[in-house]
């Protein structure tokens, strides 16, 4: 069986981290693409220098053009301007929208059978834009947001409870931003709902820490945004798809009636497989949870409308 091939567009911190984690795990041969000459080549070479130490058999190469990406199974799009302190994800809308249009057109031309995984912020809007620009079925265009937000939720739950991270199953849905919806009732610690493990005020504090976890990293770094957890989240989603695991992961996917929502990309639990999004099962939410999810979606719909893409 031929080795799977993954293209990562954008050799910045997130893209390079994703590529290196995929190499370490032997997930696929990786092509790093970036407009900056020498950057993807240099980072790829550096990763390959670690090959004998970590004993991975896959290759990482760098390029400045899309010819090297031809025939990719998955194209990960991380290209774009990162958030800076004081900047919201929506501030990035116009700038990164133009980048996504260009990247997706070139990537799909080189790999028409690929699955597109969008990482560029504002994530939910960019995923929708990537779908519309690509002309691909929605099952082959998704975004990374829910996995990262859920990982942050798990960390803060572990910190608050003292439980082992392996005993925590956390889930966050909604927009990848300040209107995200952590679900304490459906998140568990050693099989027990978080709402039964911590008092309400502590649950509220954990939720707040999760919602602003990304912004806290941005504030502390002073320049740039998170990349270790986002890059690892990308690698996990790619592995699930290439391995056809049918794993359920919170992913930014197109909704078609689920949760009373349609024609919007939003993070919800989705079954991932070799073809991308295999299924989007509708989880049972309380009225309060559903209302929060729909309110989160409303902001995305409004942002998409500003790009002239709605409907």
Q: Is the dihedral of CA 183, 184, 189, 192 positive or negative?
A: negative
Which active-site residues does the annotation give? 176
Helix boundaries (H) for the chain = 13-24, 39-49, 51-54, 93-110, 123-134, 146-161, 194-197, 200-211, 213-221, 228-242, 287-306
Query: For strand 115-118 and strand 141-143, is the pairing parallel, antiparallel, or unpaired?
Result: parallel
Please give the span between the terminal C-alpha atoms of the chain, in angstroms, as a whole number: 41
Q: How would you write 167-192 as a 3-class SS string?
A: HEECCEEECCCCCCEECHHHCEECCE
Q: Judge whether 237 and 253 are in contact, CB under 8 Å.
A: no
Neighbouring CB atoms inside 10 A of 135's CB total: 11
CA distance 118 to 115: 10
Query: For strand 262-273 and strand 74-77, is the pairing parallel, antiparallel, or unpaired?
Result: unpaired
């Amino acid at each position: 069986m031929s080795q799977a091939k993954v293209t990562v567009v954008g050799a910045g911190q997130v893209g390079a981290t994703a590529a290196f984690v995929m190499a370490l795990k032997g997930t696929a041969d990786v092509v790093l693409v970036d407009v900056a000459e020498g950057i993807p080549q240099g980072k790829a070479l550096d990763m390959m220098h670690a090959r004998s130490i970590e004993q991975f058999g896959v290759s990482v190469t760098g390029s400045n053009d899309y010819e090297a990406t031809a025939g990719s199974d998955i194209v990960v799009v991380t290209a774009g301007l990162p958030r800076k302190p004081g900047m919201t994800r929506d501030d990035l809308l116009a700038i990164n929208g133009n980048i996504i249009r260009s990247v997706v057109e070139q990537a799909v031309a080189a790999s028409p059978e690929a699955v597109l995984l969008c990482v560029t912020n504002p994530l939910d809007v960019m995923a929708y834009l990537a779908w519309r620009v690509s002309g691909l079925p929605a099952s082959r265009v998704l975004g990374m947001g829910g996995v990262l937000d859920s990982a942050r939720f798990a960390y803060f739950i572990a910190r608050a409870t003292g439980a082992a991270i392996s005993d925590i199953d956390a889930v966050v849905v909604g927009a990848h931003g300040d209107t995200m919806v952590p679900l304490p009732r459906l998140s568990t610690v050693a099989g027990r709902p978080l709402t039964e493990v911590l008092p309400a005020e502590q649950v509220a504090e954990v939720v707040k820490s999760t919602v602003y976890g990304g912004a806290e990293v941005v504030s502390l770094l002073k320049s740039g945004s998170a990349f270790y957890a986002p890059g690892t989240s990308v690698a996990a989603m790619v592995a699930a798809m290439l391995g056809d695991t049918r794993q359920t992961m919170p992913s930014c996917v197109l909704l078609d009636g689920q949760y009373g929502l349609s024609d919007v990309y939003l993070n919800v639990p989705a079954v991932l497989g070799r073809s991308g999004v295999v299924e989007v099962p509708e989880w049972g939410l309380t009225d309060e949870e559903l209302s929060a999810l729909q309110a989160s979606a409303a902001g995305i719909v409004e942002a998409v409308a500003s790009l002239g893409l709605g409907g």
